[in-house]
Amino acid sequence: MGDSVGTLEEFEAGSNVLLLGPSVSSEIDAGCRQLLHGDDEPRATLVVTFTLPPEQWVERWDDRVGDRPEELVLVTTSDTFAGPTADDELDDIGIEYLSTPGDLTGLGMIISKYLERWHEADRRMALCFDSLTTLLQYEELHNVYRFLHLMTTRLAGAGAHAHFHLDPATQDEQAVSTLASTFDAIARLEDGEWDVRSR
């Protein structure tokens, strides 16, 4: 890993960033929003959410950011998302779902579909993957590594800005290092402060 490039606020988001910190944290939430919306330029946004139902994710965005992306698609699992109700505010939001977080083939197909669609339409794309911690509960490390290597290469090639959440306390140091090798930059939250390092 390369030299420190400062705080998350000073960091100019690269193609692929690994966001290391606890699964539940206001600082992590703020870092996620910074990477998705930091420059205030509209982006088509794809969110893979295994930790929150889509309606809760959107509610938090509405409360803490305000304006939604020009196009927002959320990928979730069938047990997390039971379907919209009359009171939901998901009418203008795309929903894609998987049977399990471990369906790497299906997940890759969904990400690639929107990546290609938005790239062909010359739209800026952002991706939030929340979280690798959950994915690693369903898939072996080497399979997740191969998946990330493929996806981050595709995302970088299309000029997308993507970040992936991982709670380092749930993995050994070697596992974190292995996954980190597929990213352009690592943003680690320690004692409430961000340390951002680029490769």
pLDDT for 27 equals: 86
Average pLDDT over residues 33-58: 81
Task: Give me 125's structure tokens.
Answer: 């794309």
Where do the structural domains in the chain lie, given as residue ranges?
16-81+90-198
- 70-88, pLDDT tens digit by residue? 899 999 986 665 565 545 5
Residue 98 has pLDDT above 80, yes or no: yes
More confident residue, 178 or 122: 178
d(CA 20, CA 37): 18
**Peptide bond just before 15 cis, omega within 30 deg:** no
d(CA 56, CA 58): 5
Cβ–Cβ contacts within 10 Å for residue 146, how many? 14
At the fourth CATH level, the homologous superfamily of domain 16-81+90-198 is P-loop containing nucleotide triphosphate hydrolases (3.40.50.300)
Phi (first) and psi of residue 153, to 5 degrees:
-65, -45
